[in-house]
Structure 1
Amino acid sequence: MGQSFCRKAAGSLTPLLPTPGVNTGVGADAPGAVHTRAYQRCHRRRAGGVTLIELMVAVAVLAVLAAAAIPNFKSFLHNSRLSADATRLFADLELARSEAARRNTTVTICPLDSGNKCADDWTLPRIVFVDADNDGTYSNTEELIRNSDPLQATTVITAANLGATPDRVRMRSTGSSSTPTASWKFCERNSTAAGQTVSMTGSGRPSTQLQSTCS
């Protein structure tokens, strides 16, 4: 707006300017001098930057926007972490089921401890392998199908309904599972926000759904 005003002011005073080459020695009250001072004042006002009040208003607006965005960003990160971990377990179960059918044999999925033995702590890194002797231990002579990625450091899993073998799930060549009602509840440590659950149907097919809260 200031720039437009300056242009209009300069335009209205332009006819008052003396002809080129006559500016030297123009008096302080001469029309040309008046035009020059007005033009310089406009340019100084435009180049003056923002005032302290304008800066404080801008900072206040940014603070309000940040306060509104931070909770949404935390919720987005929470959901993304749990979704990624739940999706990986879902993919491992699907892979074990399809490989069992393809190979016409039983395929095992389990969390593995440091001694290559299946453990009932499902926060440990998982493997999918052909447990030929069904001893719940992976050996170099057995075929490894997948090493799954570890969980997020903040993710906690509560497994349920795994029956007599809480340390593993075995997928048969028919597609059924040794633990058809098993479920895994994914929550974020020290949080009561909603989590996700991976569960198995009677046929051994996994599914994923949201859960209301975590305790």
Structure 2
Amino acid sequence: MRNRSQGFTLVELMVTIAVAAILLTIGVPSLVSMYEGFRTNSNVEKIHNVMAFARNQAISYGATVNVCPFASVSTCGTSADWSGGIRVYINSAGTDKELRAIDSFHSNDKVKGPSGTITFSPEGLSSGGTLIYCPGGKTAESQSVDITTSGKISYGNDGNSC
């Protein structure tokens, strides 16, 4: 009587590895685009929420609240590039008090907005503007947040140019 050994043969193992490699080659690109879509939705929601927060704080404090792109640790940028993050602050007694901040976004993504600062008045009115989030710099997949001068904050059109 012959004992049969347990396990896989080399041929079976190589076929299994080849099939797994083919499946990964097909599946990974779609997973990357799915991850990019989730990241975009999450970051656009963050931008929307921080703008709503700024407007609510302006009304609550009865003071002007500013939203600007990060330039460095505690200063605002003056360019239209908001990729470095977003800073929300109130100026009281001549000093800036930071209320909230969003750190920089993913290094491949671009965030374009108005040059300088978006302000919210104590009445909830705004200087207005549109922030466009472009994942990987792709215009076709971009999403935006619109801020009207009346202070309304809403999700804007998709596919705006970066």
Q: Which TM class, normalised by the smaller chain length? A: 0.7 to 0.9
Over the aligned positions, Cα root-mean-square deviation in angstroms equals 2.6
Once residues 154 and 97 of structure 2 are traced to their aligned partners in structure 1, the CA distance between those partners, rounded to angstroms, is 26
Once residues 22 and 39 of structure 2 are traced to their aligned partners in structure 1, the CA distance between those partners, rounded to angstroms, is 27
CA shift for structure 1 position 107: 0.7
Determine the structure 2 residue equivalent to 1:184: 131
CA shift for structure 1 position 209: 5.0
Determine the structure 2 residue equivalent to 1:119: 78
Q: TM-score, normalised by structure 2?
A: 0.81
> Which of 43, 64, 68 in structure 2 is aligned with 1:85?
43
Matches within 5 A, 1:2-21: none
- Residue 146 of structure 2 is aligned to residue 199 of structure 1: yes
Q: Name the % identity.
A: 26
Which aligned runs of 4 or more in structure 1 are off by greater than 6 angstroms?
Answer: none
Determine the structure 2 residue equivalent to 1:71: 29
Q: TM-score, normalised by structure 1?
A: 0.63
- Residue 89 of structure 2 is aligned to residue 129 of structure 1: yes
Once residues 149 and 59 of structure 2 are traced to their aligned partners in structure 1, the CA distance between those partners, rounded to angstroms, is 16
**Aligned partner letter, 2:150:** S
Which structure is higher in RCO with an 8 Å CA cutoff and minimum separation 6?
2
Q: How many residues matched? A: 160
CA shift for structure 1 position 48: 4.2
Determine the structure 2 residue equivalent to 1:104: 62
Q: Which structure 1 residue ranges, 5 or more long, are not aligned?
A: 1-36, 134-138
CA contact (8 A) 1:194 1:210 kept: no
- Residue 98 of structure 2 is aligned to residue 144 of structure 1: yes
Once residues 131 and 43 of structure 2 are traced to their aligned partners in structure 1, the CA distance between those partners, rounded to angstroms, is 11
Matches within 5 A, 1:1-80: 37=1, 41=2, 44-45=3-4, 47-80=5-38
CA shift for structure 1 position 197: 1.2
